[in-house]
A and B are shown apart, each in its own frame.
Chain A
Amino acid sequence: MTEKLSVVGKRVPRWRAHDKATGTAKFLADTKLPGMLEGKILFSPHAHAKILKIDTSKAEKLPGVEAVITWEDVPNKLFNPNKLDLILVHPELEFKDTYVLSEKARFVGDRIAAVAAVDAATAQEALELIEVEYEVLPAVFDPMEAMKPGAPKLHDFAENNISVHFDFPVAWGDAEAGFQEADIVVEETFRTAKNHICQFEPCTCMADFGADGRLRIWSPSQHAFLHRRKIAEIFDMPEGMIQWITPHVGGAFGKYGSLSIEPVCVALAKKAGRPIKLELSREEDLFATEPRQRYVSTGKIGLKKDGTITALQEKIIVDGGAYYTHNFSTTAVNMGGFLGLYRCPNVAAEATCVYSNVHPTGGVRGYGNHEGTCMLEQLVDKAADKLGMDPLDLRLKNAKKAGDPSSTGIPMETCSFEEMIKLGAEKIGWKEKRARKKEDGPKRYGIGIGIAMDVSGAQPFNIQHRNAFIKFNEDGSVNLLLNAADLGQNIIGAMAQIAAETLGLNYEDIHVVTGDTDSTLYDIGQHASGGCYQIGNAVINAAEKAKKQLLERAAKKLEAAPEDLEVREGHVYVISDPEKTISVGDVSREAMYNFEGEHLNISGQGSFSPVQNPPPLSAVFTEVEVDIETGEVKVLKILYVADPGRAINPATVEGQLEGAIAQSLGYVLTEEYVSNRETGALESDNLNTYKVPSTLDMPETEVVLYEEPVPSGPFGAKGIAQGAMIAVTPSIANAIYDAVGVFVTDMPATAERILEGLK
């Protein structure tokens, strides 16, 4: 990639930054429709209960109440809020076990009924007037207990509350033989954190059946088209009768990979015949929308004395909660991360997904790979300890290289783990810091490393299909039409940069149209860090087609062959004679307005279905201070070396990595999703109890972009956002292990747990 880039690689302002800085960006909570009603959901106060009777008459009589719905008013149809059954190669592993509103409550927060009223206060009051007679059933909160014979059963089809037991579908080698061959074997059982992403905009949705019979849904979905299909299925409508509009999204991180409150909102709109806005409070968002799965997982690694890994094995109990959602898919990705990060000839993994009466879980940033890789990376440090090797050397010994399969099994076009690890080690002073004296009064110091590879989409396990459309305006600017939710990751800005670069225009010349299924082409949605890589290729494809039309028209004007022309900063030039030039606007305008009858709106449709899946790579180094009297961990510094292929907008890429550092910090140290042991109710139900890091909790951070463009990527880019936490988390855990020898198996690693470990 030696060509000179003029827009790609520049730190241009993100898409709609101006609106967000001035407060004019409209999020759903900021929006009102004429005649709109406010909706509220009645959530179950019981962890497990059958509804014997619901009396909604008092609520219905309250002035201002326009609709009340219960399980009797919604389609008698099971669905899975996770969209993957629509695009997964193993759809039979995605169970449907959820109703829009349920006759049986399976966790504290299950959806029982909903009301729509003229304002929020009336809706709130109406909820209190709904009389529900429950038969409270025995509940089970622990997956181990839930699997025992005689435990309370959540779903009829799931014997012993086991929804599915499966082996890693694409294992290789012979794990048993691999462990036989090993000189040492390290085995540990981990209990990962059930952490909530706590995106800042509380979950909100609007729905309206228009006079034309079409349903309009406004929701910050990551998958407008797939979620539209889900709604169409649940409510038995043709997809074309639904328009899905994605507004500004106040953070997602995987959360809107599931349908959340949209089905309830649609059912209310249907009953009321009016537009509905349904807005969760922070408390409701935390208890009624999906946190991560908790994995109780036993990982095993076998190695030769020289550090060569001979076998890896993982046995997982998935504490997935009351509904299935993403249990299979996140767990399969967990296995991919655990088994596929290093060169290893023999691997195996199995998992048992278990229901219990706790909050159902979903897909959150890192999507299983975060947890799987973290366990592996910690085991590697323990193994290094046992072998008397520097953990850095052990990694270098087993690190994958270009041509090796990535964790998805596809051979990698590039892979410079070795160079990245060495660069980071040099920068942070690894050797000196590993060797230094680690004590100062009650303080102990440590340094740790974690590496990770993630994905640029879900090829080859999911259908991956993207489209983009480009059309020129009279002035030479273009509209770029695509369906990509800007979740904060600035996918739109990056796509505009790619379009501008390909077309030879300026960044400001690209006007993006997005977030509307009526006016954009199909897209599978924002998941698995696939946006930049996959949509970027579709945008290039669209831009090249439009550019071809542009050059053909310009060629006539300039009396040259199209292949002899180039476009720069909004002008077409004859390469051999740059004096001969015409503005793109003149070409575009003339194509629309001429009397010769050869009319054309210069445009192009681009599509992309990937063959490759180049993994973004991370190597993270963390320094910590641990107080051995209090167990408190203070993270002093984090150095993040990342290979995003090419950073389309370096500020955006750095922002993803810096944000992920904060989220990992919370995951490892403070974010504990705590449910009451007796009732199953969420106790950490707001930001005063669920503690995410503030400015004062942040360590010194440094981000280094190690850009190695991949041939298959748009200008060499790979995905970056989803995988950004994965290496940070184990680097912190490993630094703690280095400082005080406490091997963190239970996250978050609170001061209490560290102190316990020190005893």
Chain B
Amino acid sequence: MKKEIASFKVNDRAHEVLITPNMTLSELLREHLGLTGTKNACGAGECGSCTVLVDGKPILSCSTLAIAVQDKEILCIEGLSRGPELHSLQEAFIDAGAIQCGFCTPGMIMTAKAMLEGNPNPTRDQVKEGLGGNICRCTGYVKIIDAVMGAADTLSKGGK
């Protein structure tokens, strides 16, 4: 198996990493860049915990090869807040009580971010649809949907 030095752009920063073709994007982030906010809960592409944005679109980093995203813009949960300043979605998840064990939270927030960019004023049903690929075992989703609706409201009023 060939090893090569590959360049990645993650959270607006350039990285060079020695990679092998069988390295997934989630392994790149977690094992090589220390970005462990992205979680692996199933490894089968079924739960959405490993969701990150590639060129703005939510994808499953457990089922994406790192080698195939070298030329892309990658955004993961660590890139969402700027220092102490949280993204509206993060604030809303905290305030609405949308977090319990927190293992699904980063993936949930990343999916929600992309959804709100495409549809800034979603209905509750649209939020449900938009998060259909992110499983949460703790919350029953009620407060997660509340949080996304709240963040949509903040963002549409000019929040970050």
Contact = CB atoms under 8 A, between A and B. Distances in A.
A23 to B, nearest CB: 2
A91 interface: no
Contacts of B136: 200, 662
9 contacts: A13-B95, A23-B77, A23-B105, A30-B30, A200-B101, A200-B104, A250-B41, A250-B101, A251-B100
Given A488-B138, A698-B141, A199 B101 contact: yes
A544 interface: no
B124 to A, nearest CB: 10
Nearest to B132: A696
Nearest to A252: B101
| Residue with the highest number of chain B CB atoms closer than 10 Å, among A13, A490, A661 | A13
A655 B138 contact: yes
Interface stretch (B31-39, B53-61, B65-73): B31-39
Contact of A659 (B90, B128, B140): B140
Given A29-B40, A696-B128, A696-B129, 7 more contacts: A17-B93, A17-B99, A17-B102, A18-B86, A20-B99, A201-B101, A487-B101
B109 A282 contact: no
B149 interface: no
Interface in B133-160: 133-145
B36 A30 contact: yes
A200 B94 contact: no
A19 B135 CA distance: 20
B38 A651 contact: no
A21 B100 CA distance: 10
Contacts, number: 175
A26 B131 CA distance: 24
A200 B49 contact: yes
B36 A26 contact: yes
Given A686-B42, A695-B128, A20 B141 contact: no
A488 B137 CA distance: 10
A71 interface: no
Interface in B1-57: 30, 35-44, 46-47, 49
A22 interface: yes
A660 interface: yes
Given A21-B93, A651-B96, A696-B128, A251 B44 contact: no
Interface string B96-136: 11011111111001000000000000000001110111111
B81 interface: yes
A716 interface: no
A692 B140 CA distance: 11
Interface string A607-631: 0000000000000000000000000
A701 B78 CA distance: 33
Contacts of A281: 43
Interface of A: 11, 13-14, 16-27, 29-30, 197-202, 248-253, 281-282, 487-490, 649, 651-652, 654-655, 657-663, 686-688, 692, 694-696, 698, 701
B100 A655 contact: yes
A488 B131 contact: no
B76 interface: yes
A739 B158 CA distance: 48
User: Which 4 A/B pairs are nearest by Cβ-Cβ distance?
Assistant: A23-B37, A20-B102, A651-B97, A488-B101
B94 A17 contact: yes
Contacts of A649: 97
Nearest to A13: B94
Nearest to B41: A200
Contact of A687 (B47, B132, B140): B47
Given A11-B97, A251-B101, A655-B138, A21 B90 contact: yes
Given A23-B38, A651-B96, A659-B138, A200 B132 contact: no
Given A658-B140, A692-B135, A695-B131, A21 B40 contact: no
A682 B156 CA distance: 48
Contacts of A17: 93-94, 99, 102
A659 B41 CA distance: 18
Given A21-B94, A696-B129, A687 B101 contact: no
B140 A686 contact: no
Contacts of B101: 199-201, 248-252, 487-488
Contacts of B129: 695-696
Helix, strand, loop or mixed for chain B's interface? Answer: loop
Interface centre among B90, B134, B142 (most CB of A within 10 A): B142
Contact of A282 (B44, B99, B144): B44
Interface residues of B, number: 54
Interface of A is mostly: loop
Nearest to A249: B101
Contact of B42 (A11, A16, A199, A282): A282
B137 A692 contact: yes
Given A201-B41, A662-B141, A23 B100 contact: no
Given A22-B90, A701-B142, A14 B132 contact: no
Given A200-B104, A487-B101, A658 B30 contact: no
A29 to B, nearest CB: 7
B43 A282 contact: yes
A199 B101 CA distance: 9
A659 B44 contact: no
Contacts of A660: 140
B34 to A, nearest CB: 9
A21 B129 CA distance: 22
B77 A652 contact: no
Contacts of A253: 137
A252 B37 CA distance: 20
Contacts of A282: 41-44
Given A200-B137, A687-B47, A695-B141, A25 B102 contact: yes
Contacts of B77: 22-23
A673 B109 CA distance: 30
B62 to A, nearest CB: 10
A657 B129 CA distance: 22
Contacts of B46: 686-688
A392 B41 CA distance: 42
A701 B124 CA distance: 13
A127 B131 CA distance: 38
B100 A698 contact: no
Contact of B97 (A202, A654, A698): A654
A24 B79 CA distance: 11
A23 B41 contact: no
B66 to A, nearest CB: 15
A687 to B, nearest CB: 4
Nearest to A702: B142
A13 B97 CA distance: 7
B108 to A, nearest CB: 10
Contacts of A655: 97, 100, 138-140, 142-143
Given A200-B101, A692-B135, A658 B142 contact: yes
B24 to A, nearest CB: 12
Contacts of B41: 200-202, 250, 282, 687
A24 B37 contact: yes
A17 B92 CA distance: 11
A21 B143 contact: no
B160 to A, nearest CB: 14
A253 B137 CA distance: 10
Contact of B99 (A14, A24, A249): A14
Given A14-B97, A30-B36, A21 B105 contact: yes
Nearest to A490: B100
